[in-house]
């Protein structure tokens, strides 16, 4: 047995996608056999050829070549297998354009460590076997396509390999050159060389002794039936048979589904819920009456809150007017010619207002002259007690509470009394 493949699978990963190419290929090739593998583009035949030629590793499966398990050997040993046991013939030739035909054929011998004179003699004999003994010094650009392919065949057989792998050897050649290449392969096979050829042309595959077809990563026969199914095949699941139901059973089942539970009424009664879904739930108080009473009281409360602010403004205006009258009124003269102090109403207010300071006397000296008050008025900013409060919007007026307004009035009255006490002068003792 020259080579044997068992359940070979190959899957390529493209990003997050797994692309299976080969699915459980099993193949055996005897020594000295001439095998052709046919298949359309994308069927996986080139991937299979790369695995057989030790150019790629399978994702799973076993490959044995000439009694040696390829999956267990090292990279160095695999290189030796490719150099000495396998010869490659490609569709595109892959010749070195700057080297002569003789040097291209001798290249594998150079890698094998053969001396220059010896490798040139071996390469010359290989070129003679393919009919190019007189083109040894020609470069690839001086040869035709068929001649370049014959140089490639000579390079493949120069090391006397055990198997030759040919991937579309006549794909880039005309019909006449293709026939010449096939004759060379036939003569090599007659000499005992094992040949595995990949092609999609039936005329070229007819030269082989055995032909296999590959399709969608599987080896198939001439009728398209897989020779070996994939290693993992899912058996179809058998669903349990459904019981047949009669119309009477269906009617009884529908009645059971539509009927309410037996204890539904008992549960509703125990929970205190009405059985009639259309009736309203009863509350412990009459909600509608409470809402009506609140709506009736709302205008009254709003009016009361709005009346509080105008009263505070009137009080501030009255206090400011009385202070200006006291400042402008001249002091009265007594019979002795002295100025009698003018009684101020502030002490009376202080007695009436509990927020006024306790140390203010019952009678207070006359208020200061108007001249002493003018510098205070000429300044750009009026006193704090005479500042006009900002106009409040109806929304802010409604937000002010009665307690806040009363506290503000008491604070302003105390400040007014304190300012009047500081502004007056002591009467003379004449």
- pLDDT tens digits, 241-278: 445 555 555 556 655 555 555 554 444 444 444 444 44
- Rounded distance, CA 49 to CA 94, Å? 17
- Tokens representing 322 are 């009385």
Asked if 145 and 177 touch (Cβ cutoff 8 Å), the reply is yes
Residue 216 has φ and ψ, to the nearest 5°, of: 55, 40
- Tokens representing 5 are 């493949």
- pLDDT tens digits, 51-77: 999 999 999 999 999 999 999 999 999
- Tokens representing 141 are 């650009």
pLDDT band at 179 (very low <50, low <70, confident <90, very high): very high
Q: How far is CA 96 from CA 147, 151, 360, 371, in A?
A: 14, 11, 123, 120
Strands laid side by side in the 17-29 sheet: 17-29, 3-14, 60-65, 68-69
**Residue 256 zone, left/alpha/beta (φ > 0; ψ -120 to 50; rest):** alpha
Residue 117 has φ and ψ, to the nearest 5°, of: -60, -40
Which residues are CB-contacts of 36 (< 8 A; sequence separation ≥ 6)?
Answer: 197, 198, 199, 204, 205, 207, 208, 210, 211, 212
Which residues are CB-contacts of 228 (< 8 A; sequence separation ≥ 6)?
Answer: 7, 24, 25, 26, 218, 219
Mean of the pLDDT values across residues 314-331?
A: 64
- Using a cut of 0.85, tell me whether the model's pTM lies above it: no
- Rounded distance, CA 197 to CA 35, Å? 6
SS3 content of the chain, % helix, strand, coil (to 5): 45, 15, 40
- pLDDT tens digits, 337-386: 444 454 444 444 444 444 444 444 444 444 444 444 444 544 445 554 44
- Rounded distance, CA 377 to CA 324, Å? 12
């Amino acid at each position: 047995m020259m080579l044997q493949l068992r359940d070979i699978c190959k899957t390529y990963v493209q990003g997050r996608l797994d692309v299976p190419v080969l699915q459980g290929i099993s193949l055996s090739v005897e020594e000295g056999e001439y095998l052709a593998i046919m298949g359309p583009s994308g069927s996986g035949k080139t991937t299979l050829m790369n695995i057989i030629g030790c150019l790629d590793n399978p994702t799973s499966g076993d490959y044995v070549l000439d009694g040696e398990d390829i999956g267990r050997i090292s990279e160095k040993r695999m290189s030796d297998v490719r150099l000495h046991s396998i010869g490659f013939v490609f569709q595109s030739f892959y010749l070195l354009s700057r080297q002569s035909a003789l040097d291209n054929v001798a290249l594998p011998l150079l890698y094998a460590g053969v001396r220059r004179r010896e490798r040139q003699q071996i390469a010359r004999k290989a070129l003679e076997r393919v009919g190019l003994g007189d083109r040894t010094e020609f470069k690839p650009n001086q040869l035709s396509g068929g001649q370049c392919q014959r140089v490639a065949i000579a390079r493949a057989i120069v090391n006397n390999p055990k198997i030759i792998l040919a991937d579309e050897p006549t794909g880039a050649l005309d019909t006449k050159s293709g026939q010449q290449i096939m004759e060379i392969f036939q003569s090599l096979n007659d000499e005992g060389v094992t040949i595995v050829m990949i092609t999609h042309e039936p005329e070229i595959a007819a030269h082989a002794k055995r032909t296999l077809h590959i399709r969608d990563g599987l080896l198939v026969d001439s009728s398209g039936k897989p020779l070996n199914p994939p290693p993992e095949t899912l058996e179809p699941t058998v669903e349990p048979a459904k019981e047949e139901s009669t119309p009477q059973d269906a009617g009884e089942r529908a009645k059971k589904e539509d009927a309410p539970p037996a204890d539904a009424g008992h549960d509703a009664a125990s929970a205190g819920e009405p059985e009639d879904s259309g009736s309203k739930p009863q509350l412990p108080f009459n909600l509608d009456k409470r809402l009506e009473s609140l709506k009736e009281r709302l205008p009254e409360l709003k009016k009361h809150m709005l009346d509080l602010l105008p009263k505070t403004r009137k009080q501030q205006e009255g206090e400011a007017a009385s202070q200006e009258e006291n400042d402008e009124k001249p002091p009265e003269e007594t019979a002795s010619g002295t100025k009698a102090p003018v009684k101020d109403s502030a002490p009376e207010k202080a007695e009436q207002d509990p927020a006024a300071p306790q140390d203010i006397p019952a009678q207070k000296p006359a208020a200061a002259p108007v001249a002493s008050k003018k510098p205070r008025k000429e300044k750009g900013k009026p006193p704090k007690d005479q500042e006009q409060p900002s106009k409040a919007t109806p929304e802010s007026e409604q937000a002010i509470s009665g307690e806040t307004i009363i506290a503000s009035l008491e604070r302003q009255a105390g400040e007014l009394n304190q300012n009047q006490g500081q502004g007056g002068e002591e009467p003379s003792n004449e």
